A and B are shown apart, each in its own frame.
Chain A
Amino acid sequence: MDANTFLIQVLNGIQYGLLLFLVASGLTLILGIMGIINLAHGSFYMVGAYLAFSLSQHFGSLWLAIAGGAVLAVAIGLLLEWLLISRLYHRDHLYQVLLTYGLILVFEELRSVVFGDDVHGVAVPALLQASIPLTDTLSYPVYRLWMSAVCVALAIGMYLLIQKTRLGMIIRAGSTNREMVQSLGINIDLLYRLVFALGVALAAFAGMIAAPVASVFPGMGNQVLIVCFVVVVIGGIGSVKGAMLAAILIGLVDTFCKVLTLEIGGVAVLPEISGMMIYVLMAVVLLARPEGLFGKRG
C-alpha cells in the first residue's frame, strides 16, 4: 500500500466514522438521557436516504431534498415520540426493544411497498461532482470531503449545544432523573421530545448525505444500527465524546480491514473476516472496560 492509497483509506475511514457518529450520537443521547433503547434508530437513517432519493427526484436538487427531508425527519421524530415512545418511559427495556423492533418491520415494509426492493442511486450535486487528483491515477471525490466537513460542523454544533446551553447542562448531567431535571425548571416532556426528534433528525440527515455515496437499498438501516450499537458500547452510553472517538476508531478499523490482506498459515483471514473485526474490537473493550471507554459504571 503506497502513501496515496493509504491517505485515501484514512480519509474514507474518517468519513465513514463521522457518518457513524451522526447516527450513533443520537442513539447514545436517547439512551443516556431518556433511557430508551431505540432499535428503530437505523430505520431513520434509511428513511433519510429514501427521502433524499425521492425528494431529489421530485425537486431536481439534492439540496432542496435535504432541506425538506430534515424538516420531515424532525416531524416524524416529534410524532413518534408523542404517539409511541412517550408510553415507554416507565416500562422495562424489554418492551422498548419490542416496540421499536415492531417499528423496524413497519418502516422496512413501508419502504418495500412505496419504493420496491431495488437498489437506487442518488446523483451527486453538480456543485460537488469534481475530484481532487492525488496522482495520475488516483483522485479523491470532493463530495466525500464535503460530507466529512458537514459532519465535523455538526459535531462542533453538538459540542457547543452540550457545553454552552441549558439543554446541554442536563445532557451533561446524564440524568434520567425526572425530579432533578424538573427541579431545574425544565419541562421534561418537552425535553425528551426534542432530544428524540434531534436524534431522528441526525440519523436521517446522515442517511441523506450518504445516499449519493452509498446508494439506497433495503436493509441499509439495520446494518448501520448494529454498527452504531458497537459504537455506543465502545464509547459508553450517553457519552457523545465517546461516540465520536469510537465511531472514528470503527470507521478506520472497518475500512482498513477491508483493504488489507492477511493470511495466517495459508488461510486467508483478511479481508475475509473484515466484517467481524469491529465486533472483535468490541470484545476487547468489553474485557478491559465493560462500561465503555467513557461510560459511567453502573
Chain B
Amino acid sequence: MRKIRVATVVLLGCLIALALLPLVAEKYYIQLFTKMMLMAIFAMSLDLLVGYTGLVSLGHAAFFGLAGYALAFAAPQYQAANLWLSLPLAMAGSAALALVIGALVLRTSGIYFIMVTLAFAQMVFFLFHDTKIAGGADGIYVYAKPVAAIAGWEPFSLENHTHFYFVVLLLLALVYALLRVLLASPFGRVIVGIRVNEQRMRSLGYRTFRYKLACFVLSGALAGMAGYFAAAQFGFVSPDTLGWHQSGGVLMMVILGGMGTLNGAILGAFTMMLLELGFQGLPAVGEVDIGKHWQLLMGGFIVCAVLLLPHGLLGLGRLVSPRPETGSD
C-alpha cells in the first residue's frame, strides 16, 4: 500500500513539474519536452503490446508515421487542417492499417512475429519511399499546424509553442489515465493473461486472437496520435518517420524504462531522448567527432543496458525492494 502511494506522489510531482516547466523554460526546452512527451505517448502505446500483451512488435513506427502522412495529406500546400477532423481521421487511418497488418502478423508468434512486424512496416516504408504519393524519399512538409477551431472559436493555437506543449501534456496524462483504466478492465486482465499463458487463456474459453487484434489496433491508433502531433510539431514527414530505426528506438525506450509498467515507457522515452541529446553535445576526441557519431555511443549504451539492466531502469528500484507481480496493479 505504501509503495503505491510513493509511486503516485512521484507521478503527481512529475506532472506538476511538467505543468510548471513553460513558466521557467525557454522556447527550445519547451519544444524539446513537447517532443519527449510525444515519444512517451508513442512508447506507452508500444508498451501496451510488448509489456502487457507480450507481442514484440518491431514495426510500430508504421502507425506513427502513417498518421503523420495523414496530416500532411489533410493540410495540402499552405492550408491548415482542422484538428478536430484530421486527428480522428489520422488515428483511424493508423488503426485501419493496424487492423490489416495485425490480422496477418497475429497468425504468427514469437520470433516470427518480430520479423513479420518488421517486414510489414518495411512494406509501408517502401510505399512512401518508392512512389510519388507523398514526395517519395524526400518526404513532405506540413507547412501549417492544424487549427483547433470549433465553429469559428479557437480555444488554443498549435502555432503557439506553449499551447502546443500543454495540449501534448494533457494528451500524455489522458493516454496514461486511459491505459490505466483499460488495464484494470476485464479487457486489460485478458491481455495480461495472454502474455502470461495464452494457451491456458484459450482453454478457459477466450478467443485470444480477437483480444490481441483489438490490442494491436488500439495500440496503432495511439501511436498514430503521437505521430500526428510529431508531424505537426516538426513540420515534416519522411519515410524515415516510419522506418525501422524509429521502431527500434521506441522499443528500446519501452524496455530501457522497464516494460509492462507504463511509467517505465515514459521514463525510457525521456531518458533515451536526453541521452541522445547528451551524446550529440559531446566534443570531438582527436579526429573523431563524437557528437556527430553519437549513434556509436547509443549502440554501446543499448548493448550494456541489455547486459546490465535486465528489468530496465525501474528494475533498479525493484532491486532495493522486490515486488511480486500480483496481477492487481
Asked whether the complex places CB atoms of A and B closer than 8 A, the reply is yes
A→B interface (CB under 8 Å): 31, 35, 37, 39, 84, 87-88, 91, 93-95, 97-99, 101-110, 112-113, 222, 226, 229-230, 232-233, 237, 272-276, 279-280, 282-283, 286-287, 290-292
Instruction: Let me know if B130 and A109 touch, CB within 8 A.
Output: no
Instruction: Let me know if A290 and B299 touch, CB within 8 A.
Output: no
Instruction: Let me know if B127 and A276 touch, CB within 8 A.
Output: yes
Instruction: Let me know if A276 and B56 touch, CB within 8 A.
Output: no
* Alpha-carbon gap, A276 to B305, bound state (A): 35
29 contacts between A and B (CB under 8 A): A37-B111, A39-B248, A88-B306, A91-B310, A94-B56, A94-B255, A97-B56, A97-B58, A97-B251, A98-B251, A99-B302, A101-B248, A101-B302, A102-B299, A102-B301, A102-B302, A105-B295, A105-B298, A106-B299, A108-B299, A109-B299, A226-B244, A233-B108, A276-B123, A283-B120, A286-B116, A287-B104, A287-B107, A290-B107
Instruction: Let me know if A99 and B303 touch, CB within 8 A.
Output: yes
- Identify the closest chain B residue to A95 (Cβ): B306
State the majority secondary structure of interface residues on A.
Answer: helix
Instruction: Let me know if A106 and B300 touch, CB within 8 A.
Output: yes
Instruction: Let me know if B306 and A279 touch, CB within 8 A.
Output: no
What's the least CB distance linking A47 to chain B, in Å? 14
List residues of chain B with CB within 8 A of the CB of A105. 295-296, 298-299, 302
Instruction: Let me know if A93 and B56 touch, CB within 8 A.
Output: yes
B97 at the interface (CB under 8 A from A): no
What's the least CB distance linking A59 to chain B, in Å? 25
* Alpha-carbon gap, A259 to B296, bound state (A): 38
Which residue in A103, A273, A287, A291 is a CB contact (below 8 Å) of B126?
A273
Instruction: Let me know if B126 and A98 touch, CB within 8 A.
Output: no
B→A interface (CB under 8 Å): 50, 56, 58, 104-105, 107-108, 110-112, 114-116, 118-120, 122-123, 126-127, 129-132, 244, 248, 251-252, 255, 259, 288, 293, 295-296, 298-303, 305-307, 310
Instruction: Let me know if A233 and B114 touch, CB within 8 A.
Output: no
Instruction: Let me know if A98 and B255 touch, CB within 8 A.
Output: yes
Instruction: Let me know if A279 and B248 touch, CB within 8 A.
Output: no
- Identify the closest chain A residue to B111 (Cβ): A37
* Alpha-carbon gap, A286 to B129, bound state (A): 24
The A/B interface has a contact count, at CB < 8 Å, of 128
List residues of chain A with CB within 8 A of the CB of B104. 283, 286-287
Instruction: Let me know if A237 and B127 touch, CB within 8 A.
Output: no
Instruction: Let me know if B299 and A113 touch, CB within 8 A.
Output: no
* Alpha-carbon gap, A275 to B126, bound state (A): 6
What's the least CB distance linking B114 to chain A, in Å? 6
List residues of chain B with CB within 8 A of the CB of A93. 56, 110-111, 114
What's the least CB distance linking A39 to chain B, in Å? 8
B105, B108, B288 — most chain A CB neighbours (10 Å):
B108
Question: Given A94-B255, A97-B56 in contact, is the A229-B118 Cβ separation under 8 Å?
Answer: yes
What's the least CB distance linking A79 to chain B, in Å? 14
List residues of chain A with CB within 8 A of the CB of B259. 94
List residues of chain A with CB within 8 A of the CB of B298. 102, 105
Instruction: Let me know if B123 and A232 touch, CB within 8 A.
Output: no
* Alpha-carbon gap, A102 to B293, bound state (A): 14
List residues of chain A with CB within 8 A of the CB of B127. 273, 276
In addition to A35-B111, A39-B248, A101-B302, 6 A-B residue pairs with Cβ atoms within 8 Å of each other are A37-B115, A88-B306, A93-B56, A113-B293, A274-B130, A276-B130
B105, B244, B306 — most chain A CB neighbours (10 Å):
B306
* Alpha-carbon gap, A107 to B293, bound state (A): 11
